[in-house]
Structure 1
């Protein structure tokens, strides 16, 4: 344990907000957490480390006490104010990084999600401040959700930063720095430079690979700290680059604060980021991180290939082409019955996790949806499964989304966080132990970040010395299973950053020339049944559903928590490979069948596509003078296809196809004229 000297700022707040106070009282069960007496109206918000001694005003650092206990405590600390000792890798990395900053002014740390990068940044700042090399700390993060998270985490170690600085750079006088976003930095770079000239500052770039996401972000960083090749323009006392994933990029995306090696990838020259210190996920799993288990669920699916006018039938696992999988998963998770069944499985796994730790921590589920409509449907069905409000919907159209996310993360009660990939990076909530992945996205970087959300470890698990598995539910498709397996490896391998010059323009404002409708349309899909559970990272980690059910029964007989059944199955199979119970079942070969589509099904698919385009245009009529009403738009489409007024219901597939083509052309014109983003339904690859 290391004592923290004064001088790292103090919490600007002395008291919790009204909502936080309610939570604090609820966590105490209405009794003084010091002496146990029932709390009256004069109950107190007690700092465990006195506010005058640098204690944080937060739920994690406070308790509900009776008035008498709080008066007796006075300004003395109720707990040891020392900081916890650094983890092994943090202690080893500290001297290396400090030496690098001393020599060159810049250093890069690569550490797997959950390794403790935030605490490490605090250690570096403390050392620099104690030695007189830094007076302030500015942290730059990828999104607004992480601003308060960083500030709260550092406040727990009594380093106080302003996560909502005035004008983007003017900090509260009680703090020793700020937390800002890369986007916010573009408008406040000049102010940041002014502050850095007045007081030596450590600049921390969290998930530094995002600096290359947009040219303006990179320019803002370069204006503050210059580049790795030269000290010109270096206004910070030091720069600490932090990333959970080492990365490669093309020359036009090089980040000014990062060192690179030149490498050849498939004959193309790339720049590979160089870390001054790395800690890999492989060294942390089972100690600091949970090992993930992948639960794959399969179902029967029928798709119409609109271009070929055929019907494809089989299981999700039989779908071999990306657009087929995308359509099945995206449209399937808009089916209320399927979503309800998937939610029921996720809630069941969460219940098993809670039973394993005897409800000693408010474990949570994260549901990852493809879009906001799917997220809303999922939240409704989760609440139905649980029988009470349980889902916390976090979507961008809600102005209170960030507050909802923060409240859910810190809630003393279990819940389901339902989001559209806005919480896949940097979001830190160790209580998330189950992820329901209801998305078709297979980008390895996205999956690695998503999986990391369930791999952090709670204090309860550390105290019990028994880690839960991170349980992840997915639709059973080989490409998705493979991508998750690669994502675990990618936690400590090098990933390519997309090149702006070659990125797909679909979906960007003004990119109407790329408008396409999906080739496939979902006819129906059965509810999903468990296909297998895979212990990721094990070469023989896949356990088929029948085998898993047998092992679960065995676990219950032996009083082994059900959540460990996949590991028990793998271990037992290795120990006794000849016993039928532990012999891995052989999956059946793919069985996708193709038949000619009947006219009724084909027409239904085309009508669904026409409806999607019409609905999109309905929301854009207010700035399109060509059509006074959506009826006018549809009338002109019918007329172009030779369909008489009122007779679209009798139109054939050929006429409906012409309606679709005409509508898409008009939407293309609209997008090019007004700079509108393309409708979601038009972003599928048409192949």
Structure 2
């Protein structure tokens, strides 16, 4: 019906929650058939407006390397409870078994970590302090840093997980920017800024002697790390992963943020404040 309409008159197509039309999703296939393909330049609609995409599922950079390798999300959780809830949420949102739960309390954790790293499709690795030294998965392109650890070595190790180049990046010369999501807290922001400023190669992506000779001494080299930018996502709703009945809607969240600002509490705690307000006992008459 929509395809016929587009052939009959000029049509603006508006896609809300655009992450649901990702390339590997069934909706993505349907929408591509209806609207066309930006990459090929064949668009059937007069115009397309995409709205409210989720970063790690809709980032147009999955096309920067022509979908030749499966890019992955690394979700760093603070506790086992939070990790389990995050894994279930990712599976529910994607409609697939998208998340690999890798924690020391889970059976076969190291085997699951190896399987996730070698998985030939995009997936999420949800972990609690297990992906440090010795983990090698260049396909990790996005990190959701949902913990409060600010130790410089740990932060640097986590950043490095998203900064390794895949074979396609090496052969094509196209570098995929790392995406790192962190809570909006001044201490965490400062920790990551410091780690980026002080970043040094972590035994990764250093050119071999043969590569250096092939490049030639006259060819300039790009900096090891480059900060392309940062932005504030302004979340509409959140889940407090380690609490029951944890979804906080936009109205509750806005009220809690306003209260936090009034009483000088960091707004990163607003979701928990909202839960506290939700479950507070009703007032009683003094008389």
Q: 1:650 to 1:485 in 2, by over 3 A?
A: closer
Q: What is the alpha-carbon distance in structure 2 between the residues aligned to residue 537 and residue 358 of structure 1? A: 23
Pair 1:388-2:101 in alignment: no
Q: What is the alpha-carbon distance in structure 2 between the residues aligned to residue 376 and residue 343 of structure 1? A: 24
Find 2:263's aligned residue among 588, 591, 594. Answer: 594
Q: 1:426, CA displacement in angstroms?
A: 2.7
TM-score (norm. length: structure 2) = 0.53
**Partners of 1:408 and 1:417 within 8 A in 2:** yes
**Partners of 1:445 and 1:490 within 8 A in 2:** no
**Partners of 2:64 and 2:174 within 8 A in 1:** no
**Partners of 1:454 and 1:470 within 8 A in 2:** yes
Q: 1:373, CA displacement in angstroms?
A: 0.6
Q: Deviations over 1:483-527 (max 9, x none)?
A: 11211234339xxxxxxxxxxxxxxxxxxxxxxxxxxxxxxxxxx
Q: 1:545, CA displacement in angstroms?
A: 5.9
Pair 1:355-2:63 in alignment: yes
SS in 2 for 1:439: coil
Q: Give the aligned partner of residue 456 of structure 1.
A: 164
Q: What is the alpha-carbon distance in structure 2 between the residues aligned to residue 650 and residue 592 of structure 1? A: 24
Q: Deviations over 1:656-681 (max 9, x none)?
A: xxxxxxxxxxxxxxxxxxxxxxxxxx
Q: What is the alpha-carbon distance in structure 2 between the residues aligned to residue 408 and residue 343 of structure 1? A: 25
**Partners of 2:65 and 2:174 within 8 A in 1:** no
SS in 1 for 2:181: strand
Q: 1:344, CA displacement in angstroms?
A: 3.8
- Which aligned pairs between 1:205-354 and structure 2 lie closer than 5 A? 344-349=54-59, 352-354=60-62
Q: What is the alpha-carbon distance in structure 2 between the residues aligned to residue 605 and residue 462 of structure 1? A: 50
Q: Give the aligned partner of residue 408 of structure 1.
A: 116
In the alignment, structure 2 segments of 5+ residues that lack a partner are 1-51, 202-224, 234-259, 265-271
Q: Give the aligned partner of residue 142 of structure 2.
A: 434
**Partners of 1:368 and 1:419 within 8 A in 2:** yes
Q: What is the alpha-carbon distance in structure 1 between the residues aligned to residue 104 and residue 80 of structure 2? A: 8
**Partners of 2:90 and 2:99 within 8 A in 1:** yes
Q: Which runs of structure 1 show a deviation greater than 3 angstroms over 4 or more consecutive aligned residues?
A: 342-345, 489-493, 541-546, 649-652
Q: What is the alpha-carbon distance in structure 2 between the residues aligned to residue 359 and residue 385 of structure 1? A: 21
Q: Give the aligned partner of residue 419 of structure 1.
A: 127
SS in 1 for 2:150: coil
Q: What is the alpha-carbon distance in structure 1 between the residues aligned to residue 107 and residue 63 of structure 2? A: 35
In the alignment, structure 1 segments of 5+ residues that lack a partner are 1-341, 494-535, 547-590, 596-600, 609-648, 653-687
Pair 1:371-2:40 in alignment: no
Q: What is the alpha-carbon distance in structure 1 between the residues aligned to residue 231 and residue 283 of structure 2? A: 47
SS in 1 for 2:263: strand
Q: 1:367, CA displacement in angstroms?
A: 0.5
Corresponding pairs, count: 176
Q: 1:651 to 1:400 in 2, by over 3 A?
A: farther
**Partners of 1:343 and 1:378 within 8 A in 2:** no
More strand by share: 1
Q: What is the alpha-carbon distance in structure 1 between the residues aligned to residue 75 and residue 54 of structure 2? A: 12
Q: Give the aligned partner of residue 256 of structure 2.
A: none
**Partners of 1:394 and 1:401 within 8 A in 2:** yes
Q: 1:366, CA displacement in angstroms?
A: 0.4
User: Which has the larger Rg?
Assistant: 1
SS in 2 for 1:413: coil
TM-score (norm. length: structure 1) = 0.23
Q: Deviations over 1:540-596 (max 9, x none)?
A: x645569xxxxxxxxxxxxxxxxxxxxxxxxxxxxxxxxxxxxxxxxxxxx92129x
Q: What is the alpha-carbon distance in structure 1 between the residues aligned to residue 77 and residue 195 of structure 2? A: 19
SS in 1 for 2:158: helix
